[in-house]
């Protein structure tokens, strides 16, 4: 499993927690920035993560900003991206099983680090169901 992760200033601290957690689990993590809490533009970093996914450099992506909303909106503009904003484990599991989501978006001003890491683990550990009805519905997205 290879994860690519990016953030803006609002998500920087939570991103560090996620990288530490995933690395301790033995998961390969590529961090595309940002690299501090100085104000920056989140679409720059969502584009780096979506490119990593569409170019096959990572299996799943994680994007963290203040709310997770801007990251999710900008990521979903890109072809082949299915980004999901999840702040609970039910949604994280369902979006992998039903939507084959390839990017998890998190809002660091919405969720605490304890639950965020559980959401990350659920997202990373849940496979797509491969059910025909879900494949059909996903094919109808574009
Ligand atoms: C930055 O202040 C904030 O707008 C950003 O982190 C994110 O929440 C946007 O959706």
Write the DSSP string, 90-133. Answer: HHHHHHHHHH---EEEEETTTS-HHHHHHHHHHHHHPPP---HH
Summary count for the chain: helices (H), strands (E): 6, 5
Ligand 1, atom 10, lies closest to the CA of: 70
What is the reported pLDDT for 95?
99
**CA–CA distance, 72 with 52 (Å, rounded to integer):** 16
Q: What is the Å distance from ligand 1's center to 133 Cα?
A: 35
**CA–CA distance, 29 with 6 (Å, rounded to integer):** 10
Q: Give the residue from 116, 88, 108 showing the smallest Cα distance to 11.
A: 108
Ligand 1, atom 4, lies closest to the CA of: 66
Minimum-distance ligand 1 atom for the alpha carbon of 73: 10
What is the reported pLDDT for 124?
98
For residue 49, count other CB atoms closer than 10 A to its CB.
32
Cα-based distances in Å from 3 to 9, 12, 57, 59, 134: 20, 16, 9, 6, 23
Q: What is the Å distance from ligand 1's center to 132 Cα?
A: 36
**CA–CA distance, 66 with 11 (Å, rounded to integer):** 6
Q: Give the residue from 12, 22, 78 showing the smallest Cα distance to 49.
A: 78
What is the reported pLDDT for 62?
99
| DSSP single-letter state for residue 61 | E
What is the reported pLDDT for 142?
85
What is the best residue among 11, 33, 67, 85 to mutate for testing ligand 1's pocket, by most ligand atoms within 8 Å of CB? 67
Query: CB within 6 Å of ligand 1 — which residues?
Result: 8, 10, 42, 65-67, 69-70
What is the reported pLDDT for 93?
99
As averages over each run of 10 residues, the pLDDT of the chain (142 residues) reads: 98 98 98 98 98 98 98 98 99 99 99 98 98 98 90
């Amino acid at each position: 499993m290879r994860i690519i992760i990016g953030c803006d200033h609002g998500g920087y601290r939570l991103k560090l927690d996620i990288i530490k957690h995933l690395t301790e689990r033995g998961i390969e993590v590529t961090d595309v920035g940002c690299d501090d809490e100085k104000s920056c533009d989140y679409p720059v970093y969502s584009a780096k993560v979506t490119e990593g996914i569409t170019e096959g450099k990572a299996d799943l992506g994680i994007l963290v900003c203040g709310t997770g909303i801007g990251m999710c909106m900008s990521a979903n503009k890109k072809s082949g991206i299915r980004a999901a904003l999840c702040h609970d484990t039910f949604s994280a599991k369902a979006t992998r099983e039903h939507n084959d989501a390839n990017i998890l978006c998190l809002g660091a001003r919405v969720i605490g680090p304890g639950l965020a890491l559980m959401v990350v683990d659920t997202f990373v550990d849940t496979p797509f169901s491969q059910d025909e009805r879900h494949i059909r519905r996903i094919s109808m997205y574009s």
